[in-house]
Copies of this chain bind each other. A is one copy, B any other.
Amino acid sequence: MHATLSGDVVRAGERARERFYDSSGYGHPVDGGALELAPVEAAHLLYRGDLEAVDGSDGTAMDFRAFLESAAVSEIAFLVYKDLRDRGFYLSPSREGWSDASAARAAVDDPAVDFVVYPRGSGPWDDEVAYRVGVVSEREEVPASDLGNLVLAVVDEESALTYLATEHRDVSGTSEAELPTNVPGELLSDRLLLWDPPATIYDRGFYGQPLDDRDGDVIQLSLLEAAFLAREGVLDVEGGAEAVVDRGREVEGERFDRRLRVYAELRERGLVPKTGYKFGADFRTYADVESVDDLGHSELLIRVLDGGHTFSPRDLALDVRLAHGVRKEMVFALVNDEDDDGSADDRIEWLSVTRLTP
Protein backbone atom coordinates (compact mmCIF):
# COMPACT_ATOMS: atom_id res chain seq x y z
CA MET A 1 0.00 0.00 0.00
CA HIS A 2 1.20 3.51 -0.90
CA ALA A 3 0.57 6.85 0.72
CA THR A 4 1.52 10.41 -0.16
CA LEU A 5 3.45 12.98 1.81
CA SER A 6 1.82 16.39 1.62
CA GLY A 7 3.26 19.10 3.83
CA ASP A 8 3.40 17.62 7.31
CA VAL A 9 0.85 14.85 6.81
CA VAL A 10 0.84 11.59 4.93
CA ARG A 11 -2.45 10.84 3.18
CA ALA A 12 -3.74 7.36 2.56
CA GLY A 13 -7.00 6.04 1.18
CA GLU A 14 -10.10 4.36 2.59
CA ARG A 15 -8.54 0.93 2.91
CA ALA A 16 -5.84 2.46 5.09
CA ARG A 17 -8.48 3.89 7.34
CA GLU A 18 -9.98 0.50 8.04
CA ARG A 19 -6.68 -1.26 8.33
CA PHE A 20 -4.65 1.28 10.29
CA TYR A 21 -7.08 3.49 12.18
CA ASP A 22 -10.03 1.26 12.96
CA SER A 23 -7.95 -1.73 13.94
CA SER A 24 -4.77 -0.15 15.33
CA GLY A 25 -5.28 3.53 16.09
CA TYR A 26 -2.91 5.05 13.54
CA GLY A 27 -3.75 8.48 12.13
CA HIS A 28 -7.14 10.12 12.05
CA PRO A 29 -10.00 9.84 9.56
CA VAL A 30 -10.82 12.86 7.44
CA ASP A 31 -13.84 13.75 5.35
CA GLY A 32 -14.38 11.54 2.38
CA GLY A 33 -13.17 8.38 4.11
CA ALA A 34 -9.43 8.92 3.74
CA LEU A 35 -6.83 8.71 6.50
CA GLU A 36 -4.24 11.28 7.54
CA LEU A 37 -1.10 9.98 9.18
CA ALA A 38 1.58 11.96 10.99
CA PRO A 39 5.01 11.29 9.45
CA VAL A 40 6.08 9.37 12.57
CA GLU A 41 3.05 7.09 12.20
CA ALA A 42 3.78 6.54 8.52
CA ALA A 43 7.42 5.74 9.39
CA HIS A 44 6.24 3.08 11.80
CA LEU A 45 3.90 1.54 9.22
CA LEU A 46 6.78 1.52 6.71
CA TYR A 47 9.02 -0.10 9.33
CA ARG A 48 6.40 -2.80 9.97
CA GLY A 49 5.98 -3.38 6.25
CA ASP A 50 2.31 -2.37 6.39
CA LEU A 51 3.00 0.50 4.04
CA GLU A 52 5.26 -0.23 1.08
CA ALA A 53 6.24 3.33 0.33
CA VAL A 54 5.41 6.96 0.86
CA ASP A 55 5.45 9.07 -2.26
CA GLY A 56 7.22 12.37 -1.79
CA SER A 57 5.98 15.63 -3.22
CA ASP A 58 8.32 15.09 -6.18
CA GLY A 59 6.69 11.73 -6.83
CA THR A 60 9.63 9.51 -5.72
CA ALA A 61 8.61 6.53 -3.63
CA MET A 62 10.38 6.36 -0.27
CA ASP A 63 10.83 3.10 1.61
CA PHE A 64 11.44 3.04 5.36
CA ARG A 65 15.13 3.79 4.99
CA ALA A 66 14.65 6.70 2.61
CA PHE A 67 11.79 8.11 4.68
CA LEU A 68 13.79 7.95 7.93
CA GLU A 69 16.74 9.63 6.25
CA SER A 70 14.50 12.39 4.89
CA ALA A 71 13.68 15.51 6.85
CA ALA A 72 10.03 14.47 7.12
CA VAL A 73 10.43 12.56 10.37
CA SER A 74 12.53 13.00 13.52
CA GLU A 75 14.60 9.91 14.28
CA ILE A 76 14.22 10.27 18.04
CA ALA A 77 10.46 10.72 17.79
CA PHE A 78 10.38 7.54 15.72
CA LEU A 79 12.41 5.61 18.33
CA VAL A 80 10.01 6.63 21.10
CA TYR A 81 6.92 5.98 19.00
CA LYS A 82 8.21 2.52 18.12
CA ASP A 83 9.12 1.72 21.71
CA LEU A 84 5.68 2.62 23.01
CA ARG A 85 4.03 0.59 20.24
CA ASP A 86 6.34 -2.32 21.14
CA ARG A 87 5.11 -2.02 24.72
CA GLY A 88 1.52 -2.48 23.53
CA PHE A 89 0.26 1.10 23.59
CA TYR A 90 -1.70 3.05 21.03
CA LEU A 91 -0.63 6.65 20.88
CA SER A 92 -1.26 9.78 18.84
CA PRO A 93 0.87 12.76 17.99
CA SER A 94 -0.28 15.75 20.00
CA ARG A 95 -1.89 17.48 17.03
CA GLU A 96 -5.22 19.12 16.42
CA GLY A 97 -7.75 16.57 15.25
CA TRP A 98 -5.75 13.41 15.96
CA SER A 99 -7.60 12.31 19.06
CA ASP A 100 -11.11 12.33 20.50
CA ALA A 101 -9.90 12.26 24.10
CA SER A 102 -10.51 15.56 25.85
CA ALA A 103 -7.15 15.38 27.66
CA ALA A 104 -5.45 14.92 24.29
CA ARG A 105 -7.24 17.93 22.83
CA ALA A 106 -6.13 19.98 25.84
CA ALA A 107 -2.53 18.87 25.34
CA VAL A 108 -2.39 20.18 21.77
CA ASP A 109 -1.59 23.66 23.04
CA ASP A 110 1.31 22.47 25.20
CA PRO A 111 4.43 22.49 23.03
CA ALA A 112 6.25 20.18 25.48
CA VAL A 113 3.87 17.31 24.64
CA ASP A 114 4.75 15.28 21.55
CA PHE A 115 2.55 12.23 22.05
CA VAL A 116 -0.51 11.32 24.02
CA VAL A 117 -0.47 7.66 25.03
CA TYR A 118 -3.71 5.81 25.74
CA PRO A 119 -4.14 3.17 28.43
CA ARG A 120 -3.50 -0.33 27.07
CA GLY A 121 -6.67 -1.45 25.29
CA SER A 122 -7.76 2.13 24.57
CA GLY A 123 -7.22 4.29 21.53
CA PRO A 124 -7.87 7.70 20.01
CA TRP A 125 -11.62 7.03 19.89
CA ASP A 126 -11.79 6.72 23.70
CA ASP A 127 -11.65 9.48 26.25
CA GLU A 128 -8.70 8.41 28.35
CA VAL A 129 -5.04 9.41 28.27
CA ALA A 130 -2.44 7.49 30.30
CA TYR A 131 0.64 9.62 29.58
CA ARG A 132 1.51 12.92 28.01
CA VAL A 133 4.96 12.30 26.54
CA GLY A 134 7.66 14.77 25.52
CA VAL A 135 10.56 13.45 23.44
CA VAL A 136 14.05 14.84 24.06
CA SER A 137 17.54 13.81 23.17
CA GLU A 138 19.99 13.30 26.01
CA ARG A 139 21.76 16.46 24.99
CA GLU A 140 18.78 18.81 24.87
CA GLU A 141 18.14 21.26 27.67
CA VAL A 142 14.69 21.04 29.23
CA PRO A 143 13.19 24.10 30.94
CA ALA A 144 11.74 23.35 34.37
CA SER A 145 8.57 25.13 33.29
CA ASP A 146 7.92 22.38 30.71
CA LEU A 147 7.76 19.73 33.40
CA GLY A 148 4.92 18.47 35.56
CA ASN A 149 2.13 16.30 34.16
CA LEU A 150 4.63 15.17 31.53
CA VAL A 151 6.57 11.99 30.89
CA LEU A 152 9.98 12.84 29.45
CA ALA A 153 11.13 10.20 27.00
CA VAL A 154 14.88 10.69 26.85
CA VAL A 155 16.78 9.15 23.95
CA ASP A 156 20.41 8.69 24.87
CA GLU A 157 23.32 8.86 22.44
CA GLU A 158 23.19 5.11 21.93
CA SER A 159 19.45 5.26 21.21
CA ALA A 160 18.31 3.69 24.46
CA LEU A 161 15.23 5.19 26.10
CA THR A 162 14.49 6.28 29.63
CA TYR A 163 11.12 7.51 30.78
CA LEU A 164 10.94 10.07 33.56
CA ALA A 165 7.58 10.90 35.07
CA THR A 166 7.40 14.52 36.21
CA GLU A 167 4.61 15.68 38.51
CA HIS A 168 3.89 18.68 40.64
CA ARG A 169 3.15 17.50 44.13
CA ASP A 170 2.45 18.71 47.58
CA VAL A 171 4.82 18.06 50.46
CA SER A 172 3.74 17.87 54.07
CA GLY A 173 4.52 16.16 57.35
CA THR A 174 3.64 16.09 61.02
CA SER A 175 6.92 17.06 62.67
CA GLU A 176 6.73 19.82 65.21
CA ALA A 177 8.48 20.61 68.46
CA GLU A 178 7.87 23.06 71.27
CA LEU A 179 11.09 25.02 71.55
CA PRO A 180 12.39 27.46 74.14
CA THR A 181 13.30 31.02 73.23
CA ASN A 182 16.49 33.07 73.40
CA VAL A 183 18.94 30.19 73.52
CA PRO A 184 22.43 31.75 73.23
CA GLY A 185 24.52 30.72 70.26
CA GLU A 186 28.00 31.62 68.98
CA LEU A 187 28.58 32.19 65.29
CA LEU A 188 31.79 30.63 63.93
CA SER A 189 32.91 30.99 60.35
CA ASP A 190 30.64 28.35 58.81
CA ARG A 191 28.41 27.08 61.63
CA LEU A 192 26.99 28.11 64.96
CA LEU A 193 27.65 26.50 68.32
CA LEU A 194 25.24 26.10 71.21
CA TRP A 195 27.48 25.56 74.21
CA ASP A 196 24.74 24.73 76.68
CA PRO A 197 21.63 23.89 74.69
CA PRO A 198 18.24 22.76 75.99
CA ALA A 199 17.86 19.11 75.03
CA THR A 200 14.68 19.63 73.02
CA ILE A 201 16.49 21.52 70.26
CA TYR A 202 18.23 18.39 69.09
CA ASP A 203 16.19 15.62 70.70
CA ARG A 204 12.75 16.81 69.60
CA GLY A 205 13.38 19.39 66.91
CA PHE A 206 16.26 17.50 65.29
CA TYR A 207 18.12 20.77 64.82
CA GLY A 208 21.90 20.52 64.56
CA GLN A 209 24.30 17.78 65.43
CA PRO A 210 26.11 17.11 68.71
CA LEU A 211 29.85 17.69 68.66
CA ASP A 212 30.18 14.35 70.37
CA ASP A 213 28.05 11.54 71.70
CA ARG A 214 28.44 12.66 75.27
CA ASP A 215 25.30 13.76 77.08
CA GLY A 216 24.66 17.46 77.35
CA ASP A 217 27.20 18.11 74.66
CA VAL A 218 27.73 21.11 72.47
CA ILE A 219 25.36 21.30 69.49
CA GLN A 220 26.55 22.48 66.08
CA LEU A 221 23.92 24.17 63.94
CA SER A 222 24.29 24.74 60.22
CA LEU A 223 23.94 28.33 59.06
CA LEU A 224 20.52 27.48 57.60
CA GLU A 225 19.26 25.99 60.83
CA ALA A 226 20.69 28.91 62.78
CA ALA A 227 19.16 31.55 60.50
CA PHE A 228 15.76 29.88 60.74
CA LEU A 229 15.87 29.48 64.52
CA ALA A 230 17.11 33.04 65.01
CA ARG A 231 14.18 34.35 62.95
CA GLU A 232 11.80 32.25 65.00
CA GLY A 233 13.16 33.77 68.20
CA VAL A 234 14.50 30.43 69.45
CA LEU A 235 18.09 31.52 69.07
CA ASP A 236 19.82 34.53 70.49
CA VAL A 237 22.90 35.38 68.46
CA GLU A 238 24.97 38.54 68.29
CA GLY A 239 23.71 40.63 65.39
CA GLY A 240 20.47 38.62 65.23
CA ALA A 241 19.23 36.51 62.35
CA GLU A 242 20.64 39.02 59.89
CA ALA A 243 24.20 38.32 61.04
CA VAL A 244 23.67 34.63 60.31
CA VAL A 245 22.08 35.32 56.93
CA ASP A 246 24.94 37.66 56.03
CA ARG A 247 27.43 34.93 56.87
CA GLY A 248 25.43 32.47 54.76
CA ARG A 249 25.49 34.84 51.81
CA GLU A 250 29.24 35.24 52.22
CA VAL A 251 29.82 31.51 51.92
CA GLU A 252 27.32 30.69 49.20
CA GLY A 253 25.87 33.83 47.69
CA GLU A 254 22.20 34.17 46.76
CA ARG A 255 21.87 30.41 46.80
CA PHE A 256 21.77 30.73 50.58
CA ASP A 257 18.59 32.85 50.43
CA ARG A 258 16.94 30.40 48.08
CA ARG A 259 17.82 27.45 50.28
CA LEU A 260 16.68 29.26 53.41
CA ARG A 261 13.27 29.93 51.85
CA VAL A 262 12.91 26.25 51.03
CA TYR A 263 14.22 25.21 54.46
CA ALA A 264 11.69 27.46 56.22
CA GLU A 265 8.85 26.32 53.98
CA LEU A 266 9.63 22.66 54.66
CA ARG A 267 9.73 23.25 58.41
CA GLU A 268 6.42 25.11 58.21
CA ARG A 269 4.91 22.19 56.34
CA GLY A 270 5.93 19.80 59.11
CA LEU A 271 9.00 18.22 57.53
CA VAL A 272 12.47 18.17 59.02
CA PRO A 273 15.08 19.05 56.39
CA LYS A 274 18.62 17.82 57.05
CA THR A 275 21.54 18.17 54.71
CA GLY A 276 21.40 16.04 51.57
CA TYR A 277 25.10 16.47 50.91
CA LYS A 278 25.87 12.76 50.92
CA PHE A 279 23.30 12.33 48.17
CA GLY A 280 24.45 15.37 46.22
CA ALA A 281 21.19 17.14 47.08
CA ASP A 282 20.34 20.11 49.25
CA PHE A 283 18.15 18.29 51.74
CA ARG A 284 16.84 14.96 52.78
CA THR A 285 13.57 15.26 54.68
CA TYR A 286 11.82 13.41 57.48
CA ALA A 287 8.04 13.77 57.48
CA ASP A 288 7.21 12.58 60.98
CA VAL A 289 9.86 13.28 63.60
CA GLU A 290 8.79 12.98 67.21
CA SER A 291 12.21 12.23 68.65
CA VAL A 292 15.68 11.67 67.24
CA ASP A 293 15.83 8.38 69.12
CA ASP A 294 13.06 7.15 66.90
CA LEU A 295 13.96 8.55 63.48
CA GLY A 296 12.44 6.85 60.51
CA HIS A 297 13.85 6.70 57.04
CA SER A 298 14.06 10.05 55.27
CA GLU A 299 11.61 10.03 52.40
CA LEU A 300 12.53 12.84 50.04
CA LEU A 301 15.65 14.26 48.49
CA ILE A 302 15.22 17.93 47.72
CA ARG A 303 17.28 19.92 45.27
CA VAL A 304 16.71 23.68 45.38
CA LEU A 305 16.69 25.42 42.02
CA ASP A 306 15.77 28.75 40.60
CA GLY A 307 12.34 28.68 38.96
CA GLY A 308 13.91 29.52 35.61
CA HIS A 309 16.21 26.50 35.77
CA THR A 310 16.92 24.40 32.72
CA PHE A 311 17.60 20.70 33.24
CA SER A 312 20.04 18.58 31.36
CA PRO A 313 18.54 15.09 31.00
CA ARG A 314 21.88 13.62 32.12
CA ASP A 315 21.78 15.44 35.45
CA LEU A 316 18.14 14.48 35.88
CA ALA A 317 18.99 10.83 35.26
CA LEU A 318 21.78 10.99 37.84
CA ASP A 319 19.56 12.52 40.53
CA VAL A 320 16.64 10.21 39.89
CA ARG A 321 18.75 7.07 39.81
CA LEU A 322 20.56 7.96 43.00
CA ALA A 323 17.30 8.75 44.80
CA HIS A 324 15.80 5.47 43.63
CA GLY A 325 18.91 3.60 44.81
CA VAL A 326 18.49 4.92 48.35
CA ARG A 327 14.71 4.47 48.34
CA LYS A 328 13.86 8.15 48.34
CA GLU A 329 11.86 10.31 46.02
CA MET A 330 13.60 13.09 44.12
CA VAL A 331 11.81 16.42 44.45
CA PHE A 332 12.99 19.69 42.94
CA ALA A 333 12.04 22.84 44.82
CA LEU A 334 11.64 25.50 42.15
CA VAL A 335 11.90 28.87 43.79
CA ASN A 336 10.23 31.70 41.94
CA ASP A 337 10.50 35.37 42.71
CA GLU A 338 8.45 36.52 45.63
CA ASP A 339 5.05 38.03 45.06
CA ASP A 340 4.63 41.75 45.39
CA ASP A 341 3.24 41.31 48.87
CA GLY A 342 6.36 39.42 49.88
CA SER A 343 4.58 36.13 50.47
CA ALA A 344 6.78 33.27 49.40
CA ASP A 345 4.41 30.55 50.40
CA ASP A 346 2.82 29.75 47.08
CA ARG A 347 5.88 30.60 45.01
CA ILE A 348 7.78 27.38 45.60
CA GLU A 349 6.79 24.59 43.24
CA TRP A 350 7.55 21.01 44.20
CA LEU A 351 8.39 18.92 41.18
CA SER A 352 8.75 15.19 41.64
CA VAL A 353 10.71 13.21 39.06
CA THR A 354 10.70 9.43 39.07
CA ARG A 355 11.73 6.68 36.72
CA LEU A 356 8.81 5.17 34.85
CA THR A 357 8.44 1.87 33.04
CA PRO A 358 5.40 2.37 30.85
Contacts and interface: CB of A to CB of B under 8 A. Distances in A.
A160 B275 contact: yes
Given A69-B188, A190-B137, A280-B321, A158 B314 contact: no
A147 B300 CA distance: 32
B280 A317 contact: yes
Interface in A136-153: 137-139
Interface stretch (A25-33, A99-107, A219-227): A219-227
A279 interface: yes
B252 A139 contact: yes
B195 A65 contact: yes
A318 B279 contact: yes
Contacts of A243: none
B138 A277 contact: yes
Given A69-B186, A158-B220, A321 B209 contact: no
A158 B221 CA distance: 7
A258 interface: no
Nearest to A154: B277
B189 A75 contact: yes
Nearest to A277: B156
Interface in A180-229: 186, 188-191, 193, 195, 208-209, 211, 220, 222-225
Nearest to A74: B189
A325 interface: yes
Contacts of A208: 158
Identical copies of this chain, number = 2
B186 A314 contact: no
Given A159-B209, A209-B158, A222-B157, A278 B321 contact: yes
A331 interface: no
B190 A75 contact: yes
Contact of A159 (B162, B191, B252, B325): B191
Contacts of A190: 75-76, 137, 139, 157
A95 to B, nearest CB: 21
Given A69-B186, A277-B138, A224 B157 contact: yes
Contacts of A69: 186, 188
Interface in A279-332: 279-281, 313-315, 317-319, 321-322, 325-326
A68 interface: yes
Interface of A: 65, 68-69, 74-76, 137-139, 154, 156-160, 162, 186, 188-191, 193, 195, 208-209, 211, 220, 222-225, 251-252, 274-275, 277-281, 313-315, 317-319, 321-322, 325-326
19 contacts: A75-B189, A75-B191, A137-B190, A157-B191, A157-B222, A157-B224, A158-B209, A158-B220, A158-B222, A158-B275, A159-B191, A159-B222, A277-B317, A279-B317, A279-B318, A279-B321, A281-B318, A318-B319, A325-B326
Closest CB pairs A-B (n = 3): A280-B318, A156-B277, A325-B325
Given A156-B277, A158-B209, A160-B278, 10 more contacts: A65-B195, A68-B193, A74-B189, A138-B277, A156-B275, A157-B190, A158-B277, A159-B220, A277-B314, A280-B315
